Amino acid sequence: MPPFSASKTSANKSPASKSPASKSAASKSPASKTAASNARSIALPVAVLVVAMFSFQIGAAIAKQLFPAVGASGATALRLGLASLLLLAVWRPWRIRPSTREAWIIVAYGLALGAMNILFYSSLSRIPLGIAVALEFTGPLAVAIAASRRLIDFAWILLAAGGLVALLPFGTPSKPLDPAGIGLALAAGVCWALYIVFGRKAGNAHGGQTAALGMVVAAVAIVPIGIAHAGAALVAPAILPAAFAVAVLSSALPYSLEMYALTRVPTRTFGVLMSGDPVIGALSGLIFLGESLSVIQWAAILSIMLASAGSAATAGRQDAPQPVEPV
């Protein structure tokens, strides 16, 4: 007989022998088990989201290495073109029949997506990856804060503005940033904000099919620009493996992982975690591209990141931000 059988039998025979302490411990155990279960249930989605964030930034670092061969517009064309094929195969959007209004929203969503990508990659050709990500992040941060009029949100605005001012080329950093690169990254942020607004409207109706159709619209708009700039270099066998890696790492993989995490992680947690993107971008730039930043630039990135995280963490139930990673 197994050793635990005797204790189990004696416990059954003399229930009155249980002490109050043991009864209290027994009564607490279901709650403890529930808490442990909840912690385990959120651990995997959080890990998946972190992988998605690293995937996106590593994909951007690889894309930047394509610039000498095909330029920023060529790299954007490759990413959008290949990603649209991947999303078409996964979501098969031809099965839906959007209304005329939904179709126009999808077109606007796709154009915002295409503009966001080409502006972001154009900024990457002029400024470091981490700084470009931080500047672009002001777009979704503005969307999140615009939905609220609470006093605390003005603190986040000031914190983000302080980081932005520190990145402007006023001569404070040892190597002032290219003003054109700053402007392009901020413009990409505006397009990211539009992408979020139109994406919410379009996604409410058809979800993943909307993303696939939007990617097709973006590809139709941007691929001709890439062809005009890079020509036959876009299909050079030497760059296609890297181009495919960019499409997977920057679009297909993070999008799929985030869709998994979104349904399992509270919105507030999702927003706080996504706020780490600028730091991950800076680390990816340092590791894969050798882009070292000054102390002031690191502080500026952290300032924008904390503003975004603070906005997400203090958001109310109704105005909680819905961060969306660019597809």
**What pLDDT does residue 315 have?**
75
**What pLDDT does residue 175 have?**
72
CB within 8 Å of 275: residues ≥ 6 apart: 137, 305, 306, 308, 309, 312, 323
**What pLDDT does residue 11 have?**
43
* 258 vs 206: CA distance, rounded Å: 17
**What pLDDT does residue 170 have?**
62
State the total domains in the chain: 1
* 117 vs 206: CA distance, rounded Å: 23
- The verdict on residue 324 lying in a domain is no
The pair phi, psi for residue 317, each rounded to 5°, is -60, -35
Burial of residue 57, with CB atoms counted within 10 A of its CB: 0-12 exposed, 13-18 middle, 19 or more buried = buried
DSSP state of 24: H
Closest CA to 214 of 108, 102, 94: 108
Tokens representing 99?
Answer: 């209304």
- The verdict on residue 48 lying in a domain is no
Instruction: Give me the domain span that covers residue 180.
Output: 63-313
* Angle made by CA atoms 217, 113, 254, in degrees to the nearest 5: 105
- The verdict on residue 81 lying in a domain is yes
Tokens representing 269?
Answer: 């947690």
* Amino acid at position 27, single letter: S
- The verdict on residue 261 lying in a domain is yes
- The verdict on residue 109 lying in a domain is yes
Alpha carbon of 93 to those of 66, 84, 133, 184, 258: distances in Å?
Answer: 30, 11, 30, 32, 19
* 92 vs 62: CA distance, rounded Å: 28
- The verdict on residue 18 lying in a domain is no
pLDDT tens series, the chain, 327 aa:
444 444 444 444 444 445 555 545 455 565 555 555 555 678 898 999 999 999 999 999 999 999 999 999 999 999 999 999 999 998 899 988 888 998 999 999 999 999 999 999 999 999 999 999 999 998 888 887 776 677 888 888 889 989 988 888 765 555 788 999 999 999 999 999 998 888 888 776 677 788 889 999 999 999 999 999 999 999 999 999 999 999 999 988 888 888 788 778 887 788 888 889 999 999 999 999 999 999 999 999 999 999 999 988 887 654 444 445 666
Q: What is the pTM of this model?
A: 0.83
- The verdict on residue 23 lying in a domain is no
Tokens representing 59?
Answer: 């994909």
- The verdict on residue 39 lying in a domain is no
Are 52 and 261 a contacting pair, CB within 8 Å? yes
